[in-house]
Amino acid sequence: MRRRALFSTLAMLISLCASVRADESPTSSGRLSPSETAFVKSIQADLPARFAHAADAEKAGYVRYTNVDASGAISYANMQWTSQDIRHPSQLWYDKNGDLLGADFSVPNTDGKRPHLFGVSPGRWYAFEDHVHYVLRDTTSGKMKYDLAVSPARFREAGGDPAHPTAATLVRMGKAKSESQVATVFDFPAIWDLIVWVKPNPDGAFAEKNPLVKS
């Protein structure tokens, strides 16, 4: 969220309702283990070669849905919430100049058990509850409005299916004036999420902020 989308997602979740929140934070911190170091080095060698700039992410199907957050990151998601390997993060995040900062890897949270993946301590992962994100476009100026979300409960109340959200439901909810105004709408399901800095970070690859990045 991070992305670092953690910051933007946390802010949106808090504003939605008490039941939609990041309800489990990491339980592990500190120095990286040998296997974690290997993981970080692998993505730092691979992702910049393929996704150095935000335009590269967009060409690969990632969609922007946030403004610059407190960590200095703008998040892009591909709506693929199961990261099967380290080459396929569910999200990528960029600075205000469009340069790659980091990535999120995720797996669905179906049983409340922290993932054992990529040689990373299970305690490094965040848990996020289900919510629906959307992006609006001003039909006159073309300006985009990011950092918008609604809870699944409210989406259902309006007759929509959170798992398959539509612009029509947002219009019924009064969130958009017309379907053409909705640039993007997608379900952000309940997941375990791992945030990793690709840009070198003196505070560590799993830290929430990077002192070398200004928002």
In this predicted structure, what is the pLDDT of residue 30?
Answer: 86
What is the C-alpha separation between 203 and 192, in angstroms, rounded? 22
- The pLDDT profile of the chain, 215 residues, written as one tens digit per residue, is 444 444 444 444 434 433 333 457 888 888 999 999 999 999 999 999 999 999 999 999 999 999 999 999 999 999 999 998 999 999 999 999 999 999 999 999 999 999 999 999 999 999 999 999 999 999 999 999 999 999 999 999 999 999 999 999 999 999 999 999 999 999 999 999 999 999 999 999 999 999 999 87
What is the C-alpha separation between 171 and 180, in angstroms, rounded? 10
pTM: predicted TM-score of the whole model, two decimal places: 0.88
In this predicted structure, what is the pLDDT of residue 13?
Answer: 45
